[in-house]
Structure formats: C-alpha cells, structure tokens
Structure 1
Amino acid sequence: MATSAAEELSGLSIGDDWAASCPSLRKNLSILSPDQIELAKILLNEGQSHLFNHWPDPGAEDEKKKGFFDQVARLNSSYPGGLKAYIQNARKLLADSKAGKNPYDGFTPSVPSGEVLTFGDDNFIKLEEAGVREAKNAAFVLVAGGLGERLGYKGIKLALPAETTTGKCFLQQYIESILALQEASCKLAGGQQHMQIPLVIMTSDDTNAPTLKLLESNSYFGMVPSQVKLLKQEKVACLDDNDARLALDPNDKYKIQTKPHGHGDVHALLYSSGMLYHWKSAGRKWVLFFQDTNGLLFKAIPASLGVSATKGYDVNSLAVPRKAKEAIGGITKLTHADGRTMVINVEYNQLDPLLRATGHPDGDVNCETGYSPYPGNINQLILKLDSYIEELGKTRGAIAEFVNPKYKDSSKTSFKSSTRLECMMQDYPKTLPPSANVGFTVMDTWLAYAPVKNNPEDAAKVPKGNPHHSATTGEMAIYRANSLILRKAGVQIADPVNDVFNGQEVEVWPRITWSPMWALIFADVKRKVNDKCFVSQRSTLVINGQNVFLDGLSLDGTLVVNAIDEAEVKVVGSIQNKGWVLKHVDYKDTSFPEEIRMRGFKIEKLEQLEKSYTEPGNFCLSS
C-alpha cells in the first residue's frame, strides 16, 4: 500500500537527513509548515537539538509544538540577523566572559571634547533659543519598557506623578513639554507651516497595553493621536550554558525562556519601522532619546539641542558634573593601539581601573573644578538624523552587546541561573567611524537630572552625600530647580528647610510648578517675573497659562492660577493664607496609595487662592 505524505515525512525519507541527529524532531516534521522546518534547521545547525528531546510522537501536543515555533519565529524576526546571529554572538561573548577578556584591552582613555554650560549666562540663553528654533525639525523617542516594581509601584512608571502638587504624571509632563516646544519653535520660524513634533514610545509586553490606555484615557494629553507611535520591544532567548544552549521555560517545556534585551533595542526598532526615512523626507534633522522618570529633563533639552545644532554633533550625550569614582558612567574618548577611536560611556567601575592601567596611577580623580574630567552620562542622547540613518543602514540597528552570567563557581563552567545578551541605547557610538562628530553637553545636576528609580527602603540605605534617586528626591528636585530658576531671574525665594521623608534627608523648597507653556526656557521666565516678587518657604505656587505675569507678588501660602492663552493675567500684591502643608507618611502604611507612600509625604490642602480665567482679556489678580 502506498505510504501517505505524512508517513513519508515522518519516516526515514531522503529529505529529512538533516534531522537525523534529533529523532524526536524528525518524527514530527509532518506537522510543521515549510517555514517552521526552516527554523528547525537553523536551531539544529546551531546545536539546539535539546529543545526537542521531550517531544512526543505526532498526534500528541501538536498545537503546543506549533506554538513553540510561533515563538521561535518571533525571536528570529525581532533580532538583527535572526536567531543564528544571536546564538553565534552569544557563544563569542560567553567565551570572552569565561576567559576574563577586558573589552577595553588596547584602548587608552582621554577626556573628550564637549560643551560645559552655565545656567542663565548669555551663552546658555543663546543656545536655548537656538534649540527652540531647531525643535520643529526634531523627533522624540521615549524608552519606556519597564514597570515600577523596583519603586514599589505596580503600574507603569510613566503613569507615576512627577510631583504631587498638580499630580501630573511623567508622560503628561513630557507631552506638554513637547507641545510647548512645538508651538514656540513654529512661532520663531515666523509663519512657517505648523509642524507636529512626533513622539515614539518604546514599550514592552509589560507596558504596551497600559501605555496605550494611559494615552487614550487622557486624550493623548493634548497631542494628536497620529503624532504618537508605540513600538513594542520583544524579549530575547535565555542561555543555559557557555555553549549558548537556549533555555526552556521552567514552567512550559514548549516555550523558550526569555528576558529583556535592554533599551539598546530602540535603534533596531526604529530602523525596521521605516520611520527614520519618513522623518527625513519630512525635513527632520534630529532624534532625541530620553528615559521614563527624569522630571527635570526638558529643562535641559532646549540648550542641548542648541549645542547639537551649533556644533553639528552627530551624537550629543547629555551629561552632568561627576565626582571621581561616583557610581555613574563617565563619557570617555577611547583610542586603540590600531588607531580606532570612539567616544562612549564607560561604567564607573571600569573607568578607574582603565585609567590606572594606562599611565594614570591615581585613576579617576577630581580636577581643579572639583569634579572628574569625565562627565557623568545620564542616558539622554541627541542624534543627527542623516548620519544616524547612514549608520543604521550598515548595522540595521544592532548595538554592541554584552553578557553578564552569574557563575556557580570559579571554574566558570555553569551558571547559577540562565543569562542573556543585553545592549544599551548609549552604546550606539561604538560602531561609528572616526570621522563622526561625537560630543557631550554638561549641565548642572540640579537643572537636568533627578531620576526616580529606587524604592524607599533602598534609597534610605544610600550612603550620605550620594543621590537617593527616589520618588521623594525626584519631586523635591523639581521644586528646587523651579525655585532656583526664579531666584536667578530676580525673584526673592526663601531658603529651603531640611526634612526627612522615608529615611531620606532632603531640602524642602517652596512647592513651585508651572506648565511648559508658561516658561519653556529661561528667557520666558525673565520676561514674566520681576525682582519685586517674594515667595516664602512654606508657599505653593502653581501657574497654568501662557500669559501670566508676576509683578510685585508677595506670596505666603498657596496660589493657583489657571488661564487660557488669550487671557493676560498680572499677579500683584500680597497674598497670604494657610496654604498647603506636607504631612509625613510611612511607606509601610498601606492605608495610603502606593504613589504617596513611596514619597513619604502627602499634601494637606488647608487653604488656597485659586483663580481661573476662561475668557479672553486683560486681568489683574491681587488679594
């Protein structure tokens, strides 16, 4: 009797000799599609036959077997070069790790060239205006693949309030800042066609749906929905051993265990999406990358973009002054013995030994400024679009990877748990040619950098003098920056008092916030205040409106001003009330919401003067 096609495929036919080393897979070829068979060949060629050892004969768990290949197809398509390239890269990196190879062997570090800015001086003001002028030619990319679990928060980090005076979440603050840049830039262009600044958000399986829900339930915080694009990052396969054998999920033998690949994936996602070419055809020149919980970032962006435009930087890394040996990566120029050079972030625990090994016996030390000459990288990048497209045309967005296996013992033959390859967004410059113009822009930490990444317990353990980087310090940093900006503009701002929340000592400045439409750059602030104004330490000042002017205001309490753009409001005279006060909250007290507990305080609203102007016209607000 003639054999069926299925029997022929599952038997010892000539066409399946490639699977002879894996009988359990060979028996199941009949249930697989041609595409799935090609994927199976890749896996066997790369030494992954163990993935099929447990497979029963055809007819048993066939849907799960097909589901396995659905996952393999996703892993293959989402990695530049596919699974074959991933496994081969992993073998090389794991061999280097086992051998203890130093990635910086042959390189000599030196201080790169960049711009160090002083807030409020003439140069800073000029660069801010240049940055606003360029903003209409920019696109923004927000890397937001993480949940807030590390902070003690169950939701996505973008939904966290940046500060609790207004309750605006990080995503709202970012979008309002981009919209303010958009309006100011088009205005400076003098009647040019109104251009929307695009925003791309890189999400993950964990954050994609909640991010979309946050946008949709808040009408995209004022953006046109088509202005915002979500790109979902896939995970990568885990590795079980030094031979780069892929790890099966301990809870499902028909799934490969996966973990995040790191925010470096953003480059490959942008390349494969085709958006870069669309932006270029629309006349865009710059791509700005930023991360999800730095409430100060947009105070630094206009001047940094101005630096990129005036210097013609292909890559501009935003940076802050960094103390020698401080636990933050340093931006460093590396020159290899063979002549190669690159300007990249070198992690602090690698920079000091690298300097010692290359003729600097004291390693990383402070210079005459009191800071290390290697500025602190804060993972915010501005890339020139033309050269970015050219580079990604060669690399398809693949970023230099690393692997960090946790070995069971000094023999380095087995792992405590599975590992995976990782990549970082800021390592993009590693593949650039020597002709690339790579620099940095340093700004004061108080103005540019206050990330929220530690939970209260971990933040309280940070050694004295080091940044806590918690929700507590992130919020207080916003009030401090706004107070210092107003003080620089001539307003008399009372000195802060010290207090302790969740075990962290912080300076408590007046709780001052304003919408980006009120003041995007320092020149805006200077135009709208004068030196006859005073704000006491216990005060709260909230300004929502483009044309609100503080003219001799003396505030001791709480004032909230809301005004439409067509309403011009002059705020004068003395305003005094009981105001809003900060009440201590214990982070273990579950009667409070997570976003309050993680700060260690809540705002008790006793009394305020709140005025809203919803009609066009000129108005005067006084007590």
Structure 2
Amino acid sequence: MMQKLNTIMNTLGENKKYVDYLIRTEQFELLAHEGLNEKNIYDIINQIKEFELMYPDGFIKYIEKGREFLKRSQMNINEYYNYKIEKPDNLIKIKFHLTNDITFKKEDIKNNFLNMDNKLLYNNCYVNNNILYRNKTFNHILKRNKKKNTSYHHREILNNSHGVSSNESTPVSILSNNKKSNMYINKEYPTYVNGIRQINTHQNVKNGTYNEDKKIKYSEKGNVSDYKCGLGILNNNHQRSYEESTIFTLEQFLYYEKIGLDHIDKISFILLAGGLGERLKHKDIKIKLFTNLISEETYIEYYCNYIRCFEKYIKKEKKKKMNIPFIIMLSDDTYEKTLCFFEEKNYFGLEKNQVHFLKQNKVFCFKNNQAHLDFTYEKNTFIISKKPHGHGDIHYLINKYNILDKLIKDGYKYLFFFQDTNALALKVLFVCLGVSIQKQLHMNFLAVSRKPGEEIGALCTLNNNEKSMTVNLEYNIFDSLLSSNGIKEVIQKDGFSLYPGNTSAILYEINKYNEILKKTNGNIPEYINPKYMDNTRDHFKCPTRIESMMQDIALYFYEHKRNKTTQASTVMGENTQMVMRDNTQMVMGENTQMVMGENTQTVMRDNTQTVMRDNTQTVMRDNTSIVIPNNSTINNSICNDKKGNNMDDINLYDITNVGVTELDRCLCFSPVKNNSINAYKKILNNIHPECMFSAETDLYYSNCRFIQLACIYNKKKFILDEIPTKTFNGISYFLPPKILIEPEFSFTLTHLIKKIKGNITIKNGATLWLKANAIITNLYLDGTLIIENKTYKKKNYDHISLPIILDQNVYIKNKGYEIVPTNHFYYNKQKKFSDHIEQNIYENIQIRGYNIIKKEALLITN
C-alpha cells in the first residue's frame, strides 16, 4: 500500500498534504482501496478541499472530534453527568383543565378494534348514569349507540320554516334570536370535546327552551362540582369550579396574547426547511406537503399566508406598510426545489426581497466507532458520504450574512424560529410573544406536556456549583442521564412528565441573541448521535456524522454562580447590592456618600453614565439593588471562526432569562415526522403518531378547540357529537369535524371571540371552512359551509373586502365533504402525470391513505 501511495503522492505536488491528512486520521480502508489511482485521488482531494471551505476547524479536527464523540457515545458517557436535573426555570403554564389528548390501548390496535364511532373516550374515567367515576380503565367501552348513520337525500337551509332569504342567497335561522336551536341530539350520553364534557340536558324542542335543572356531577382534580350545559355553575361547597379554572386560563391566555399582538410589528420569522419527504414516501420537499386535503394548501403557502395577513393587520391597525422578513434555511437537497417553487407561485403573495434563503452545507459521515469515513466507489470514482450538519447551522449562517444588524436597524425586536411541518405553531405565536415581553425573556421555548419515553426533547434546568441553565435535552440523552444517575423520571398526577416537551418553536429577543452570535460567530456545541445495531454499541444501522441543534444555543444563555461574577458588586448597607454591567461608567467624586436602603431598585441600562460630583449624596434604604450594566469580562477566545466551541470555554453573561411557555398540545403542536409504519409503532406505545393523518386531523381539531374556547368566553355553547376514530393506512386516529380557520378570518383567539357570537353546533362529518372576515351568531351545521370574501379595488387601488355578517340563527344540512379510504390499487408506481402539480396531489393522497370526496357545499360570499 505504501509503495502505491508514494507513487501517487509524487504526482500531487502541493496537494499531497491531503493524502497526509488521510494517513494521520487513519483512513486506511480508503487509501488501500484497489481502485485508487493517480486520477481518482483528485476526487477525494477536491471533496476534502470543499469540506474545509465550509468547516473552518478543518478536516483533521473534524475527524479527531468525531473519534472523541464516538468513544464517549460507545461508552455511554454523558457530558451532563455532573448536573442536577430540575424543572425548568421561568415555566409559564397556560393549560386548560380539560381531559388529555385521546390515546389508545395496545390491545385495541392489535385486535383492529379501533373503529369506535359510537364510543366515548375519557381519561381515566367512564360514564354511567350521568356520573363520572375516576381511576377506571382508560378506554372503557360505553354502551353502543345503535343508531345507524343515514345518508342524506336532501339538503336543508332553514329560516323560520321558509328556508332562505328572499333572494335565495343567504341562509338564515329556524328560530328567533332569543331561543335555542335543537342542538342536543344524543340524549343519553354526554358529548365529548377533548375534555369539555357537556351533559345533554333535557330539551323542550317545542318551545325552544331547555331544562337547567338537569345537571351532571363530575370529578376534576379530585373535586366534585355541579356542571350543566355550556359553562357550568359554581358550587359554593367547593373553592374552585370548572368554570373558574377555564375562565382564569382564558383570561391568562388572552392577556399574554394581547401583549404579543400589540408588538406584531416587532417580530420576524425563521423557518427551518432542510428536509425532504422521502421517509414519508413523498418524493418532493416537505414544505410541499398539504396541510389538509380540503384547501390543498401546502405548508409553505400556509406560512406565507399567515405572514401576509400579519402585514395586512399592521397596515390596518398601525397605519404602516411592512414587508416582514421571512428567512428560510435550506439544504443542498431542498435549495433549488424550494427556490423554483417560490418562483412558480410568485412568492405566495410576498415580496421577493423580503424572503431570504440560506443554505446549510453537509459534513462527512462515519461508518464505525473509529471515525472511518463512509464512501462509495462507482465507475472509477470515490464519493465520500455526506449529511447535513444539523439545523444548528442556522445561527452560523445568520451571523455570517449579518442579518440581525439590519433587522435591529429596522426596528425588529424578536425572532420566531419554527419547523417545516407544524401548522399549529403560528396559532399561538402571540401568546408566546406576550410571555417573552412580559417576563423579559431572552429565549422562550414553546412547549407541550410530554410523556415519559416520548421521542421529543425534554426541557429542564441543569444546575451545578458553577452555573444554572435552562436547556433542551434530546430524549436519548435525557434518558441516558437519568439512568446513569439511577433516577426515575418524575411523573405528575396527570400522567405527564415534570419536564415539558420541546416543539422546536423558539422566540429570541433579538439584541441579546445578536450579542451572543457575535461572540460565538454563531458556532454552537456539536454532538454525535449514532444509531446502533444492538446494545453492544459496536455497529451502526447507518452512517453517522457530527451535527448541531438549533436549540442548543441555550447552552450560552446561562446564569453564572462563580464568585468572579460578583466581584463587581459593592455592598453598601444591609442587604444592598450594586451590579455593574455593559458599557456603563460610574464616577463618584470626593466626599461622596451613597446610602442604599429598603426595597428600592435603580436599574441603569446599557451605555448610561452616572457621574456623582463632590459632596453629592444619594440616599437609598436597605434591601435595595442598583443594577448598572457595564462592560463585563468576556472570554474573547470564543471570538474566532471555528466550529464546535465547548460551552465550558465560554463566559458570556451573568444573567440571562430563558423561559418555557407550556400550552395544550392540541393548540400548538402536531408535526409530520413518521410514515405509516413508524406511526403505527408509536400508537402501540401510546404515543402520538406524528404522521400526515394525525397532522391534518389535529389541524381540524385545534380549530374546534379554539371555537370552543371562544364560545366559553362568550358564555355560548359549542356542541359536538362524540368524536369517532377512523383507520387509514393502518393508522387509527380520531376524526373530528373538518374545521379550517384561515388567518383572513382570525389568527388569534382574541379576534375569534369577536367573530363567534352565538351557539355553535357542528355534526360529525361536517366541514366548516372560514376563509374571510365574517361574524357568526348561532350556527347548526350538518354538511359543508364555506365562507369567503370577494375583493375589489377602489380608485386608489387599495383592496377592499366587505365583511360577511350572519346575524341570525343559521341551520345548514347538505351532503357535504366525505373522507374515504383510497382504493388498495390506487397507487401505481408507473403512473404518468401531466405535470408536477398533479403528481404532488397524487402523492399527498397516497401517503395519507384517504381522499376527500367533495359532494356538496354551501358557499356564502359578500
């Protein structure tokens, strides 16, 4: 081998150093390959040169780092072993006290017994004679409703028995406004709305009234109180009723949402979209997946539509025109396809100059624990395997292209990072923003309740003698850390972990974030996560590589406990502290006296000067702190252009605020991660499937819940039948009414409360698509209703959209839209498509295992 290498190296000139790199890193399998010669050695050299352009540490450092990471991984050594795990600091829970997400028993799935159209699902309880009993079998099978489904042979739009208005265009009601429509169908059992349990009280259909004397007793958190239809009543024998708890949470939700909405013009967006949909059996980029089959709106179109509606709101309410920056990080796999899609769709209504595309690079893959490079040899050519370096590259790219300075100059104060296939994240954006503003958070994780063993990052605070930091730990690292310390995960009474789950949606305060990027050059700690064949941890399932995670920048947002951080403090009087920080100067002249006293606080921000001249006196009482930011000591060794800085080498800030905002999962989190096979395995383990079927139905269900909350706030009723479960592609999941709320109708709960004014009843199988500005009073829907606006232009070319006001009770019944399974032979690998649009539709249907048959709908426009 060496003789052959010497011969090759004699032909390389200055390039022979790259062969020396391979020798020093022990890449002998590659060097000893029988196909290696004087020509194809340049294939390898050029790949190393390209790699070193994008990875400043260089090839040798990368291999050495990989070898060290792999050694620790094989020995199952965790870098956080000396930290104590605690509940995350600054945890803000805004959760409605409703029953938990629907889950299923393993035996039900195995027996293919999940078509529970006529069963009620309650969490740890069952219903008998209108009493809820706790601590019973979860999926207790209730008495079946033997009532068979009947197909529609007609359609109905009723208005005081006359059907429609005089022009036969607008449906109106069958009852006067001061009476209740016949919304309760199933008289024997309570309806189920994921925890809003409503007893179907006796209804006198003849006079349109209902009997309030019929009540249901229920158990919630160990308390029993009386509950009737709608909101419920307060029982004086108990300190806190269901109504109080729900209204309190609603007020809290709306309080933060209003704060965030007031700052809508201060936020910009970053989307991480480097993935293909191959493992989902989708041949194109993931952002071309449909959020749903009713509108056939892709994820990227959905996100752009929200941003466009934010801009319209800013123009209307704040009287200024804005093009909100939208930054998208792509990979080699998705870059060209994404640009082409944006060009084809004319940037989905956004301006071309407000969308910024960043491309991350790939790094070399390892085939074993010795960090030997994985490669292929075909047609006399060597190709070293590569994979993306992880979404942590977004910080490096933002810093590299100096994006934040421009945003700060333009007045932006917050950045919202979100993932490519979680349509629900933008629905709670302004709640999270309000929390960040009110709590003065520099970094705010959007979180959900997490089940032990769930493959989602755990948010926690790590403490040791030197520092405290609130971070995300990936599920495998978290489990390893617990087991290595002999600790069992803390489970709360509701069955969820003490440590919330990370949704990969994060808000950053832009100034602090920019400071950290400049001091780290956007480089964050790296890690390696090989998938081993077995417990011996000797062989990989597939090649692995060094990578980084976007949320790991939280490792630089921590509070020091070192003594040196308090050396700038001057204690004056009892319990007095003076802390000096960034770029501040304090000059105290001769004979100056400062007395600090009780319960007083003076905070002086960056770039301020306090000059105290001769014989000057400042008096403050005990227990006071004066906080004056000054130029604290920073370890400038991090200010280089190298990847992979270790967090222990960085001494950034004494105080940073990292928080966690935990919301109901059904309101904010339902990504697409799994194909049908993997989703089936998740359900077997009682874990959310996170597939296309669940993402679409969760979008419908989230909208159901938001309408429900609006009705609760307005003291109106929102009535659903019990939610059936359907099975497609082997995945069993619940299927609520298909409700789509476009941002043109409402993009916050605050606005939705103003749009939903009356009682709402929506039957199973119904479809409600709200596409435009409208106000709805009482609605009974058993079919499909679409509300949309037509816009026109005035002479000044402003787009004008007249609101639609349904100011009377509306009863609608038609054939509607039906979800049906696709034929087993529907998929044809040899099928040829007329264009890529048709192919995308076809694949979106195929990976779901169902299609929507649009039979009949009522369309209401202005």
TM-score scaled by length of structure 1 = 0.85
Correspondence 1:429 to 2:554: yes
Task: Give me the whole-angstrom Cα distance separating, in 2, the residues matched to 1:146 and 1:20.
Answer: 44
Q: Provide structure 1 residue ranges, at least 5 long, that are not aligned to the other structure.
A: 1-18, 614-623
The 5 A counterparts of 1:510-549 are 510-545=737-772, 547-549=773-775
**After superposition, where does 1:202-601 map in structure 2 within 5 Å?**
202-251=329-378, 253-336=381-464, 338-352=465-479, 354-355=481-482, 358=485, 360=487, 363-405=488-530, 418-434=543-559, 435-461=655-681, 462-463=683-684, 465-490=686-711, 492-495=718-721, 496-545=723-772, 547-563=773-789, 564=791, 565-571=800-806, 572=808, 573-585=810-822, 589-590=826-827, 593-601=842-850
1:538 is displaced (CA, Å) by: 2.5
RMSD, aligned CA: 3.0
Pair 1:73-2:308 in alignment: no
Counterpart amino acid of 1:308? S
Provide the secondary structure at the position in 1 that maps to 2:436: helix
Asked if the contact 1:539–1:579 (Cα under 8 Å) also holds between the matched residues in 2, the reply is yes
Distance 1:48 1:165, change over 3 A: same
Shift of the 586–445 alpha-carbon distance from structure 1 to 2, 3 Å rule, reads farther
SS at match of 2:544: coil
1:224 CA displacement: 0.7
Q: Within 2, Cα distance between the matches of 1:214 and 1:366?
A: 45
Structure 2 residue aligned with 1:12: none
Would the alpha carbon gap of residues 288 and 37 (structure 1) be closer, same or farther in structure 2, given more than 3 Å must change? farther
Matched, 1:117 2:117: no
CA distance in 2, matches of 1:540, 1:330: 36
SS at match of 1:594: helix
Deviations 1:525-578 (A, max 9, x none): 111111244332232111222x21113333222122221352121134323221
* Secondary structure, counterpart of 1:489 in structure 2: helix
Q: Deviations over 1:303-334 (max 9, x none)?
A: 11111122121211111012334332210111
* Aligned residue number for residue 145 of structure 1: 274
Deviations 1:374-400 (A, max 9, x none): 111111111222222222223222222
Per-residue deviation, 1:474 = 0.8
Residue by residue over 1:83-127, the C-alpha shift from the partner in whole angstroms, topping out at 9 and shown as x without a partner, is 343223223212323443222221110111211113661121121
Q: CA deviation at 1:587?
A: 6.5
| Letter aligned with residue 321 of structure 1 | S
* Percent of aligned pairs with the same amino acid: 32
The C-alpha deviation readout for 1:573-618, integer Å capped at 9, x for no partner, is 32322111111225763169221122232111111122444xxxxx
Distance 1:530 1:391, change over 3 A: same
Contact 1:240/1:417, CA 8 A, preserved across alignment: yes
Deviation at 1:342, TM superposition (A): 2.0
CA contact (8 A) 2:88 2:461 kept: yes
Seen in structure 2, the aligned counterparts of structure 1 residues 144 and 405 have a Cα distance that, compared at 3 Å, is same
Alignment check: 8 A CA contact 2:422 2:671 kept: yes
Matched-pair contact (CA < 8 Å) for 1:133–1:185: no
Distance 1:68 1:464 in 2: 45
Q: Distance in 2 between matches of 1:436 and 1:122?
A: 28
Paired residues of 1:351 and 1:364 also in contact (CA < 8 A): no
- Structure 2: distance between partners of 1:409 and 1:215: 44
Residue 23, structure 1, aligned to residue 6, structure 2:
yes
SS at match of 2:788: strand
Counterpart for residue 7 of structure 1? none
Q: Which moved more, 1:453-462 or 1:66-75?
A: 66-75
CA spacing shift, 1:443–1:198, aligned 2, 3 Å = same
- Equivalents in 1 of 2:788, 2:661: separation in Å? 35
User: Which segment is superposed worse, 373-382 or 262-271?
Assistant: 262-271
TM-score (norm 2): 0.63
Larger displacement relative to structure 2 (78-87 or 133-142): 78-87
Distance 1:412 1:539 in 2: 51
SS in structure 2 opposite 1:446? helix
Contact 1:80–1:268 (CA under 8 A) maintained in structure 2: no
Q: Is the 8 A contact 2:93 2:663 kept in 1?
A: yes
Counterpart in 2 of 1:4? none
Deviation per residue, 1:387-437 (Å, 9 max, x gap): 222222232222222223466888877767643212222222123342221
Q: 1:74 to 1:333 in 2, by over 3 A?
A: same
Distance 1:611 1:414, change over 3 A: closer
Q: Which residue does 1:6 correspond to in 2?
A: none
Q: Which moved more, 1:344-353 or 1:151-160?
A: 344-353
> What is the CA–CA distance in structure 1 between the aligned matches of 2:534 and 2:701, rounded to whole Å?
48
CA contact (8 A) 1:136 1:196 kept: no
Alpha-carbon contact 2:470-2:558 (below 8 Å) kept: no
1:94 counterpart = 2:320: no
Unaligned runs of 5+ in 2: 97-248, 560-654, 712-716, 792-799, 829-840
* Range moving further from structure 2, 389-398 or 121-130: 389-398
- How far residue 68 of structure 1 moved from its aligned partner, in angstroms, is 4.1
Q: Tell me the distance in 1 between the aligned counterparts of 2:65 and 2:53.
A: 16
Q: Distance in 2 between matches of 1:559 and 1:286?
A: 38
Structure 1 CA distance for aligned equivalents of residues 375 and 483 of structure 2: 42
Letter in 2 for 1:570: I
CA apart distance, 1:214: 1.7
Distance 1:168 1:407 in 2: 38
Give the equivalent residue in structure 2 for 1:15: none
Note if contact 2:314-2:322 (Cα within 8 Å) is conserved in structure 1: no
- Take 2:502 and 2:313, find their aligned partners in 1: how far apart are those partners? 28
AA partner of residue 295 (structure 1): A
Query: What do residues 158-211 of structure 1 show as CA deviations (whole Å, max 9, x unaligned)?
Result: 1011011111111111111122233334544x33x4222211111112211221
**AA in 1 matched with 2:287:** L
Residue 263 of structure 2 aligns to a residue whose secondary structure is helix
Which secondary structure does the structure 1 equivalent of 2:819 belong to? strand
Aligned partner of residue 446 in structure 2, secondary structure? strand
Q: Quick one: structure 1 residues 105 and 609, their matched pair in 2 at CA, closer, same or farther if it must change by over 3 Å?
A: same
The amino acid of 2:801's aligned partner reads E
